[in-house]
Structure 1
Amino acid sequence: MADEQNNRGAFLIQEHFCTVMGAPITARICAGLAISLDRDTRTGRRVLDWPGEPTTDALPLRLVGGLHALDLAGVAPGLSALFGGRITDPEEVQQVLRDSFITHDAAIYPWLDGPPQTNEAGRSAALMTGLIEVARQHGPRLELLEIGSSAGLNLLIDRFRFDLGGTMVGPADSPVTIRPEWRGAPPPQVPVEIVSVRGVEIQPVDVTDPKAADRLRAYIWADNPERTERLSRAIAMIEARPVDMILGDAADWIEARLAEPQAAGVTRVLMHSVVWQYLGTERQGRIEAAVQAAGTAATAERPLAWVRMEPNRNTAQQQVWVQSWPRFGEAVQLANVQAHGAWVEPLNPPRHGEGNHAKHGGGGGPAA
């Protein structure tokens, strides 16, 4: 039985996350939606009668994405004023939202059909923080396997330039430099040589399709125009040279990839960001079992590592965790990270865990 109050409450939870992440416009819209939603439209009824867990399902972000798409298309002046930050009074916000649902019900409704796929390129700074640690432990040559690749933006990690608190990684002539606010000592300046990058996605986004690219832009919060610019540059990089991403199931793919022969002197790395919560317990268990089995078989000549950026719902932050075999099988948290990679706060010393991924940042929560 759907719980209308719980479904409204999910928008207030998302408001809190947006506020913590410095996104007042999106927070204001989420707060307005919690109050203004009613049963006068198909969209309103579907949201209020949502049968699943609305926060885990990213229900608020589905709806905000649909509204933002109308703003970006220039067909809803009231929404454009709202997303532009020109309307701030709570009652005015609520009225604009009510009017928008009545006028654009048919256009908004389909945005509820699937979760947002932001595939934020800024998150690759968090992943690179983990990869630097892997390179420090096992040597520079890395073979990357990403699950939940979405549009493939983080598969450009070998082509991005990174400035991580003054530690520089990646090609100096890259059209995209990712430079998060670095809140602590920079990572060590060690060589990182990415020999291959492959990914899998169960619902891949083709960013060379203008409609798909516009959909990604709609999921970017209006508070973060720099993310939109970075997305456009990353799309241009994929258009110039596609990434290696296939359609498939994450667990099936990882089981197959970890069973492949591995080159000597190359560390095989499973990596992902803000995807674990969407996999479900069965896939999570299969991936954990495959990694543990491969880790047991890892050698100094053919190491294995697991680098992930996943949310902690209690702090509204992402956490960067690293495990590697054969010598470093214990999970270690390297940093806390803003959900879109705007800042990175390294932990000094790193926090050691129990090696069980599900206990470290896999709990889910709003992040997109």
Structure 2
Amino acid sequence: MAATFRRFAERECRGSSPLYEALALATAGDPDLRSIAKTTLAGQPVPNLFFAAVHYLLLAGTNDRLAEFYPSLTAQPGYPEEAFPSFRAFCLDRRQAIERILGTRRVQTNEVARCAYLYPAFALVAELSRRPLAVIELGASAGLNLMWDQYRYDYDGATSCGERDATVLIRSTFRGHHRPRLPPRAPVVVDRVGVDLDPIDVRNDDQVLWLRALVWPEHRQRATLLASAVTLARRSPPRIVRGDASACLPDVLREARRDAAVCVTHTHTLNQVTDEGRAALSALLDESSRELLLYRVSAEWLTTAYPVVELTSWTGAGVTTRRLAVCDPHGAWVEWLVDQARDAG
């Protein structure tokens, strides 16, 4: 458990969240706080859920000095390296409330800016298949990333694409030598459905507050983007099927449009799935590809330095997987790896 918190601090928080980096390093050395964190649901990323539980209580209005260190709660936060005594006292005083959250909630970060790399990936699927898309998202949370075609995108302040009059604007940058082909308008999506163990209802204020709590305190732009996407989703929430993908996905695939390119997608999800579950998912998709024109777009961060975006295609020649990009965990930058100009030639 101590190593888990240290790894979280050094690998995920450093350079992104000074507050969580400081708190995670201190928690790694505190057996009392680690004993609270151990009550997290099996399979869930412990530091993420632990810090989100505390953030949730603060956002819900719990009055405590700890709030003075959270940029999400004050315009002039205290120094992160001075926050731990208040954090420790808060956790011990509210141990039961925190453990109740840890035992019932899941990490369901609906990071809308990840659509910055989904847009070119789905555009490539549409180009390869020459069909409209039917998108199925695993671990969909509130389904905000299912609405990727309803957003506007700005890359490097120079390239704009997507829905022209969108109320949600996603900004990102490209790194490296290659650039994807970005259609001015998103490919046509004829169907979209999510699968999640515990879907977030965008019309439920408390569930939306949990989504907000999962956004790190310093990340004000992410919080603003989340709020605008929730506002849009409330007009017409995407369909989310409740349940484990192993149980629900076969039926969802059977219902999929035969005239569409069926695209199964997941982002930062497999870290919560066992090796057996991952193998079962791959086997199910292999089997379903006999009846469907099937693609898989994944963005996972398991053993690599940065998240990796991959595209798996099932064709008459067999199954192929290629790496499309590496990217920032929150979509701030994308390094596209495919030379599409050469492929076209």
| Offset of residue 339 of structure 1 | 1.2
Correspondence for 2:56 = 69
1:187 partnered with 2:176: no
SS at match of 2:163: coil
Paired residue total: 330
SS at match of 1:128: helix
SS at match of 1:245: strand
Q: For residues 191-241 of structure 1, what are the alpha-carbon distances to aligned partners after superposition, in whole Å with 9 as ceiling and x for unaligned?
A: 621121111111111121111111111110012111111111111112111
Q: Look up the equivalent residue of 2:123 and give its one-letter code.
A: I
In 2, Cα distance between equivalents of 1:44 and 1:312: 23
Secondary structure of the corresponding residue to residue 180 of structure 1: strand
Equivalences for residues 155-166 of structure 1 within 5 A: 155-165=146-156, 166=158
Q: Is the 8 A contact 1:21 1:339 kept in 2?
A: no
| 1:322-333 alignment, distance < 5 Å | 322-326=311-315, 329-333=319-323
Alpha-carbon spacing, 1:89–1:193, altered in 2? closer, same or farther (3 Å): closer
Could you tell me which residue of structure 2 aligns to residue 321 of structure 1?
310
Tell me if 1:238 matches 2:233. yes
Deviation for aligned residue 1:322: 0.2
CA positional deviation for 1:89 = 6.3
1:1-368 maps to which residues of 2 (within 5 A)? 7-20=1-14, 22-35=16-29, 37-39=30-32, 44-47=34-37, 57-84=44-71, 86-88=77-79, 90=81, 92-113=82-103, 114-165=105-156, 166-184=158-176, 185-190=178-183, 192-260=187-255, 262-264=257-259, 266-298=260-292, 303-315=293-305, 317-326=306-315, 329-349=319-339
After superposition, the CA RMSD in angstroms is: 2.5
Aligned-partner Cα distance in 1 for 2:258–2:34: 54
Query: 1:193 and 1:169, CA in 2 relative to 1: closer, same or farther beyond 3 A?
Result: farther
AA of the residue aligned to 1:116? V
Deviations 1:218-273 (A, max 9, x none): 11001211111111111111211121212122123322233346433x21111111
CA shift for structure 1 position 129: 2.5
Residues 28 and 164 of structure 1, relative CA distance in 2, 3 Å threshold: same
- Quick check: 70-79 or 100-109, which moved more? 70-79
Q: Distance in 2 between matches of 1:140 and 1:104?
A: 53
Alpha-carbon spacing, 1:271–1:256, altered in 2? closer, same or farther (3 Å): same
Question: How many angstroms does 1:167 deviate by?
Answer: 4.8
| Aligned residue type for 2:93 | T
Provide Cα deviations, 1:122-172, integer angstroms capped at 9, x if missing partner. Answer: 122222221122122122511111111111111211211223455544211
Does structure 2 retain, via aligned residues, the 8 Å contact 1:160–1:175? yes
Identity of paired residues, percent?
A: 25
Query: Does structure 2 retain, via aligned residues, the 8 Å contact 1:250–1:283?
Result: no
Aligned partners of 1:223 and 1:173: how far apart in 2? Answer: 29
Shift in alpha-carbon separation, 1:31–1:76, aligned structure 2, 3 A? farther
Shift of 1:277: 2.4
**Structure 2 CA distance for aligned equivalents of residues 294 and 45 of structure 1:** 44
TM-score using structure 2 length: 0.86
2: CA distance, partners of 1:247 / 1:313:
29
Cα 1:220–1:261 change in 2 (3 A) is: closer
1-structure distance, mates of 2:252, 2:61: 45
How far apart, CA to CA, are the structure 2 residues paired with 1:51 and 1:176? 33
Deviating more after overlay: 76-85 vs 244-253 = 76-85
**Cα gap change, 1:94/1:328 in structure 2, threshold over 3 Å: closer, same or farther?**
same
Unaligned runs of 5+ in 2: 341-345
Cα distance, 1:18–1:237 mapped onto 2, change above 3 Å:
same
